[in-house]
């Protein structure tokens, strides 16, 4: 397999590359059709005449829609690849990024959302204009957000999605990218926020179900949590790259602190002060002032539904430690 757009060329062939049975392809096609169908159904059935209807789905979302949508906009292919991959490399500490979220979700539900809702805004740049006056901050933030979303969020999600499609079906990366962007673009632009939330709810269900199934199969395969504990630290890669053959064992053996979340501030790869304070600061931006999540909170029926949505998403965010991070670690044992 080659990844020419990374400037990396390897002949590494992933474990699942022989997924090309008719049933697998049928499932994927059905899934794509289902997403498109939900998008089209929303386009045809919901009115989108006003700003509130288009951007906030008429402010009529129930708590389970808000929670599922928050979760689905946060978790994506980048999580399934990034979390699991980092877990395989360095253990459970990366799961702290997930377990930090419930606290910040409470902050957005109880402190930030009421302020935004009271201010009667639809977007974050609009809030800053109301708060500080003038148009320069609003303009700057709008441009900054566009830049950040395109180069930071969307490109990562689309890239990992395309890599996944390539691994599983052998599809061309550029073709997949264009197809994903077109499908998403069509139902987002024409269906408005309601279409996004309805497809998000489907995605959240599929991701929770899929990752929990994966977890069950992974733990069954490896023989349980005790086996994971005792085998992970001894896994050695079956091929140690030529460039590394003189390398010290630290370079290819798992870290001794793999099963610790709070790691040494000097020698840890994810030092605990960063886990406690660093992630919280990033997450404060990410969950509380980020248009993606704020918009979902603003679209709630009333404050009870907004808070309920945040709580639901907080509970769902406890899952990835078990359903994504640990299967990633198990993959290192099963496929050394």
CB of 312 to ligand NAG, least distance (A): 15
**How many other β-carbons are positioned within 10 Å of the β-carbon of residue 92?**
21
In the complex, least distance from residue 158 CB atom to ligand NAG, rounded to whole angstroms: 36
CA torsion 296-321-222-84 (nearest 10°) is: 70
**Residues forming the site for ligand NAG (CB under 6 A):** 301-305
Taking the complex as a whole, the smallest distance from the CB of residue 307 to ligand NAG amounts, in Å, to 9
C-beta of 120: minimal distance to ligand NAG in Å? 17
Least distance in angstroms from the C-beta of 50 to ligand NAG: 22
Cβ nearer to ligand NAG, comparing 114 with 278: 114
Shortest approach of ligand NAG to residue 101 CB, angstroms? 24
Name which of 305 and 332 has its Cβ closer to ligand NAG: 305
Secondary structure in 3-state letters for the chain: CEEHHHCEECCCCCCCCCCCCHHHHHHHHHHHHHHHHHHHHHHHHCCCCCHHHHHHHHHCECHHHHHHHHHHHHCCHHHHHHHHHHHHHHCHHHHHHHHCHHHHHHHHHHHHHHHHHHHCCCCHHHHHHHHHCCCHHHHHHHHHHHHHHHHHHHHHHHHHHHHHHHHHHCCCHHHHHHHHHHHHHHHHHHHHHHHHHHHHHHHHHHHHHHHHHHHHHHHHHHCCHHHHHHHHCCCCCCCCCHHHCCCCHHHCCCCCCCCCCCECCCCCCCEHHHHHHHHHHHHHHHHHCCHHHHHHHHCECCHHHHHHHHHHHHHHCCCHHHHHHHHHHHHHHHCC
Inter-residue contact 304 to 206 (CB < 8 Å): no
Name which of 255 and 301 has its Cβ closer to ligand NAG. 301
Residue 76 CA: distances (Å) to CA of 19, 188, 212, 319: 21, 17, 15, 14
What is the nearest approach in angstroms of ligand NAG to the Cβ of residue 62? Answer: 7
- Report the residue number, 62 or 189, with the smaller CB distance to ligand NAG: 62
CB of 267 to ligand NAG, least distance (A): 49
Is the CB of 13 or the CB of 302 nearer to ligand NAG? 302
Instruction: Name the minimum Å distance from CB 113 to ligand NAG.
Output: 12
| Minimum CB distance to ligand NAG smaller for 260 or for 301 | 301
Quickly count: other Cβ atoms within 10 Å of residue 54's Cβ: 18
Q: Tell me whether residue 230 or residue 302 sits nearer to ligand NAG (CB atom).
A: 302
Cα gap 293→145, rounded to integer Å: 13
Closer residue to ligand NAG, CB minimum distance, 83 or 197: 197
Name which of 9 and 304 has its Cβ closer to ligand NAG: 304
């Amino acid at each position: 397999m080659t990844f020419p757009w990374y400037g990396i060329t390897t002949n590494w062939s992933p474990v699942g590359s022989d997924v090309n049975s008719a049933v697998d392809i049928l499932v994927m096609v059905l899934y794509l059709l289902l997403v498109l169908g939900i998008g089209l159904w929303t386009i045809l059935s919901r009115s989108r005449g006003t700003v509130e209807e288009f951007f906030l789905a008429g402010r009529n979302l129930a708590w389970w829609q808000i929670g599922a949508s928050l979760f689905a906009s946060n978790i994506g292919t980048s999580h399934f690849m990034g979390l699991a991959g980092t877990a395989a490399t360095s253990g459970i500490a990366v799961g702290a990024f997930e377990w930090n979220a419930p606290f910040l979700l409470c902050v957005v539900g109880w402190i930030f959302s009421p302020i935004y809702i009271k201010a009667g805004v639809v977007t974050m740049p609009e809030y800053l204009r109301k708060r500080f006056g003038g148009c320069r901050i609003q303009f700057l933030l709008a441009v900054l957000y566009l830049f950040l979303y395109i180069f930071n969020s969307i490109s990562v999600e689309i890239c990992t999605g395309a890599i996944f499609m390539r691994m599983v079906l052998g599809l061309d990366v550029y073709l997949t990218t264009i197809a994903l962007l077109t499908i998403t673009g069509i139902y987002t632009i024409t269906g408005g926020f309601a279409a996004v939330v309805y497809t998000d709810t489907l995605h959240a269900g599929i991701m929770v179900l899929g990752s929990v199934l994966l977890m069950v199969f992974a733990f069954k395969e490896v023989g349980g949590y005790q086996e994971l504990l005792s085998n992970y630290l001894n896994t050695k890669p079956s091929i140690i790259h030529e460039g590394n053959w003189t390398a010290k064992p630290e370079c290819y053996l798992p870290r001794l602190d793999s099963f610790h979340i709070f790691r040494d501030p000097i020698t840890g790869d994810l030092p605990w002060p960063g886990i406690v304070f660093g992630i919280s600061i990033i997450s404060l931006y990410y969950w509380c002032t980020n248009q993606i999540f704020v918009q979902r909170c603003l679209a709630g029926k009333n404050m009870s539904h907004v808070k309920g949505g945040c709580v639901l998403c907080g509970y769902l965010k406890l899952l990835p430690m078990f359903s994504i991070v640990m299967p990633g670690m198990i993959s290192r044992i099963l496929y050394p």
